[in-house]
């Protein structure tokens, strides 16, 4: 009989079908993945350019002529207008939850077979423009990551690629998005490896790098050096400042814990009230906070540029602080207050329904932490510590602590500065910030809630494999049944024709009463004198553990470990369905493991 190939099985009636057949016949898998990584990098880079432009022009149109020394009441109302428009867009156009972009990507990989809906290729861009362009205190990175990931997922679905390849292409989109928005290709690839936890093999690394380089080139060709912010290092790293960098690492780690817990806590509180009241509370709060700290309007990169170039006094230049008599100590209080208020403003924006990410806020908070710490040391001890360097290194500390991605933090800041002169303090502060945060928070801000709902498998390959296994698919039914009222003689006849050494005792209505083990009756099964007076119900035993077909595979594995049995019965509402064997579970596990890790 002639073997039917997948290509032959396809019906090339449509253009898509013809394209699939042509691809399968002429392009092998690995070259095809590389081609797709270029396409995904191009799409992600274009999306990053589009988002940067729409944010810039929306913000420019709304705030042109704004001054920190004046009161603009409409300016204070812009964020709530943007959030309201975002909610309307989501409710009546998108009709789907698109918040928390990175968490959505992790959920898709963990629980949705790496499928991301097609509308995410554009819906997050529009929603983010409405939220962030109108002054919502979030960042553009998470929406662009979801956009890039959606491009990768839908291209993979178009060409009917398997789960492992689809996940890789999602990673390419994610990496391309970060690379495009920051023009930082190395940081983009590392972000995917740390956050999505893809295997570090040449099969995964090469497509990621191709996607990031392509996205960076697209962004550079269309925008030049006009990334979100750039900085040229002017102050060198001073060796004797190492103790201060160590203290900064601890400080940024503790701030990261506040960042994670504060933002999640505030969002959880807002979810307890109605949507209308939620927007009202968030709108009033944001208006008050922006009146006090105008730098909370939007992602804050404009203020960030001033801070890292030595003009941090802009933080205190607002109508509110203009009424206060400022000195060195009061200015320190103002700076520290901004750290706290940025987290609150971000949580209010996201919790009320705004679309944006925590990436930019973590950078902002990190820079202010470093700026505050340097100012504190200079004020107390009269040092001349570089505020710019500490602000840059502080970014890495908070990013590493909040996202649990120290390598991403290190290389992103290194690429932004255009050099690696601060590599040593970057490594120190990022590592210490991460370790300090990890003591109190075992999960990052992206994974904490997913882990609490047991919906996170990307960080655990074993869970990833088990999530694709179902007890229903492993049920074996080739066990000979016996009625509890049957005699030993009848049981022996069943044993003679059976292929297994376990005999489920099942009533006429399917009720499971227990099992008879061949080893337990071996000594009496040849005693003909008791064939008619010994009944199966007197020989059965009830297993200590049974499996429900709806149990998770993690539970099934635990049952096998605890019972030390090789076969466990599967029951539903007391009715017998079959058995699951340890050997079958292991065999299926090995097949799926190859699917996940085949290089």
Q: Are strands 502-506 and 512-517 parallel, antiparallel or unpaired?
A: antiparallel
Q: What is the pLDDT of residues 219-250, one digit of tens each?
A: 988 887 655 556 666 777 888 899 999 999 99
Q: Where are the alpha helices (DSSP H) in 224-300?
A: 242-270, 275-292
| pLDDT of amino acid 216 | 93
Dihedral sign computed on CA atoms, order 441, 445, 447, 450: positive
| pLDDT of amino acid 310 | 76
Q: What is the pLDDT of residues 285-306, one digit of tens each?
A: 998 898 888 888 888 888 888 8
**CA angle at residue 393 from 391 to 394, to 5 degrees?**
60
Q: What is the mean pLDDT of the chain?
A: 85
| pLDDT of amino acid 2 | 45
| pLDDT of amino acid 472 | 87
279-301 burial, b for 16+ CB within 10 Å, e for fewer?
A: bebbbebbbebbbbbbbbbbbbb
Are residues 260 and 441 in contact, defined by beta-carbon separation less than 8 angstroms? yes
d(CA 147, CA 444): 21
479 vs 596 pLDDT, higher one: 479
Q: What are the C-alpha distances in Å from 358 to residues 111, 139, 284, 368, 582?
A: 23, 6, 21, 15, 44
Are residues 189 and 205 in contact, defined by beta-carbon separation less than 8 angstroms? yes
| pLDDT of amino acid 430 | 96
d(CA 158, CA 166): 10
Tokens representing 399 are: 């990013």
Confidence of residue 126 (pLDDT cuts 50, 70, 90): very high
| pLDDT of amino acid 13 | 55
Cα 66 versus chain centre, distance? 37
Q: What are the C-alpha distances in Å from 297 to residues 35, 66, 150, 270, 289?
A: 40, 12, 29, 20, 9
Q: Where are the domains of the chain?
A: 6-223, 239-459, 465-597
Whole-prediction pTM: 0.78
For the 239-459 domain, the top CATH level (class) is mainly alpha
CA-wise closest residue to 43 among 115, 150, 124, 141: 150
Return the CATH architecture of domain 465-597. Roll (3.10)
| pLDDT of amino acid 186 | 92
Give 301-306's long-range contacts (Cβ < 8 A, gap of 24+).
301/228, 301/229, 301/360, 301/364, 303/364, 304/229, 304/363, 304/364, 304/367, 305/229, 305/231
pLDDT, average across residues 339-366: 92
Residues above pLDDT 90, as percent of the chain = 38
Are residues 350 and 356 in contact, defined by beta-carbon separation less than 8 angstroms? yes
| pLDDT of amino acid 4 | 46
Q: Which fold has domain 6-223?
A: Clc chloride channel (1.10.3080)
Q: What is the pLDDT of residues 402-414, one digit of tens each?
A: 999 999 999 998 8
Are residues 191 and 59 in contact, defined by beta-carbon separation less than 8 angstroms? no
Q: What are the C-alpha distances in Å from 29 to residues 156, 170, 297?
A: 12, 16, 47
Ranges 47-51, 110-114, 470-474: which has the least confidence = 110-114
| Same-fold call for 6-223 versus 239-459 | yes
CA-wise closest residue to 517 among 498, 558, 529: 498
């Amino acid at each position: 009989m002639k073997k039917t190939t997948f290509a032959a099985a396809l019906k090339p009636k449509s253009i898509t079908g013809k394209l699939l057949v042509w691809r399968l016949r002429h392009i092998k898998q690995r070259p095809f993945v590389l081609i797709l990584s270029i396409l995904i990098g191009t799409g992600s880079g274009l999306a990053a350019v589009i988002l940067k432009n729409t944010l810039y022009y929306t913000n420019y149109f709304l705030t042109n002529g704004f001054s920190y020394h004046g009161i603009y009441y409409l300016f204070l109302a812009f964020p709530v207008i943007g959030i309201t428009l975002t909610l309307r867009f989501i409710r009546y156009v998108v009709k789907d939850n698109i918040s928390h972009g990175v968490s959505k990507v992790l959920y898709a990989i963990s629980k949705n077979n790496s499928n991301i809906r097609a509308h995410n290729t554009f819906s997050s861009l529009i929603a983010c423009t409405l939220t962030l362009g109108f002054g919502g205190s979030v960042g553009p990175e998470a929406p662009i990551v979801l956009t890039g990931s959606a491009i990768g997922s839908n291209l993979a679905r178009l060409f009917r690629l398997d789960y492992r390849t689809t996940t890789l292409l999602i990673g390419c989109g994610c990496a391309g998005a970060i690379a495009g928005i920051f023009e930082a290709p190395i940081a983009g690839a590392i972000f995917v490896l740390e956050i999505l936890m893809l295997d570090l093999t040449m099969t995964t690394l090469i497509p990621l790098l191709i996607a990031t380089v392509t996205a960076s080139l697209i962004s550079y060709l269309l925008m030049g050096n006009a990334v979100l912010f750039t900085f040229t290092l002017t102050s060198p790293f001073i060796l004797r400042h190492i103790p201060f960098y160590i203290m900064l690492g601890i400080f940024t780690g503790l701030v990261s814990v506040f960042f994670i817990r504060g933002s999640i806590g505030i969002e959880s509180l807002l979810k307890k009230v109605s949507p209308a009241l939620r927007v009202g509370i968030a709108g009033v709060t944001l208006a008050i906070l922006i009146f006090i700290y105008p730098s909370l309007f939007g992602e804050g990169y404009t203020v960030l540029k001033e801070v890292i170039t030595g003009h941090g006094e802009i933080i205190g230049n607002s109508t509110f602080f203009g009424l206060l008599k400022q000195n060195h100590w009061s200015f320190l209080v103002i700076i520290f207050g901004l750290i706290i208020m940025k987290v609150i403003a971000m949580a209010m924006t996201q919790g009320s329904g705004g679309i944006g990410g925590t990436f930019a806020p973590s950078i902002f908070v990190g820079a202010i932490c470093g700026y505050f710490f340097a100012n504190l040391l200079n004020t107390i001890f009269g040092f001349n510590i570089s505020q710019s360097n500490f602000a840059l290194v502080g970014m890495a500390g908070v990013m590493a602590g909040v996202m649990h991605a120290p390598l991403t933090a290190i290389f992103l800041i290194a690429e932004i500065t255009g050099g690696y002169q601060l590599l040593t303090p970057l490594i120190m502060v990022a590592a210490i910030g991460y370790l300090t945060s990890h003591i109190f928070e075992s999960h990052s801000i992206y994974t904490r809630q997913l882990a609490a709902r047991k919906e996170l498998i990307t960080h655990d390959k074993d869970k990833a494999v088990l999530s694709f296994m179902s007890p229903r698919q492993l049920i074996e039914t080739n066990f000979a049944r016996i009625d509890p009222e049957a005699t030993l003689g009848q049981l022996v006849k069943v044993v003679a024709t059976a292929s297994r050494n376990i005999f489920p005792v099942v009533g006429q209505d399917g009720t499971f009463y227990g099992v008879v083990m061949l080893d337990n009756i071996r000594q009496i099964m040849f005693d003909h004198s008791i064939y008619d007076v010994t009944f199966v119900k007197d020989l059965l035993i009830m297993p200590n553990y049974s499996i429900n077909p709806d149990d998770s595979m993690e539970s099934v594995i635990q049952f096998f470990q605890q019972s030390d049995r090789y076969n466990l019965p599967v029951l539903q509402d007391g009715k017998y369905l079959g058995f699951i064997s340890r050997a079958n579970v292991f065999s299926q596990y090995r097949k799926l493991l190859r699917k996940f890790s085949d290089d």
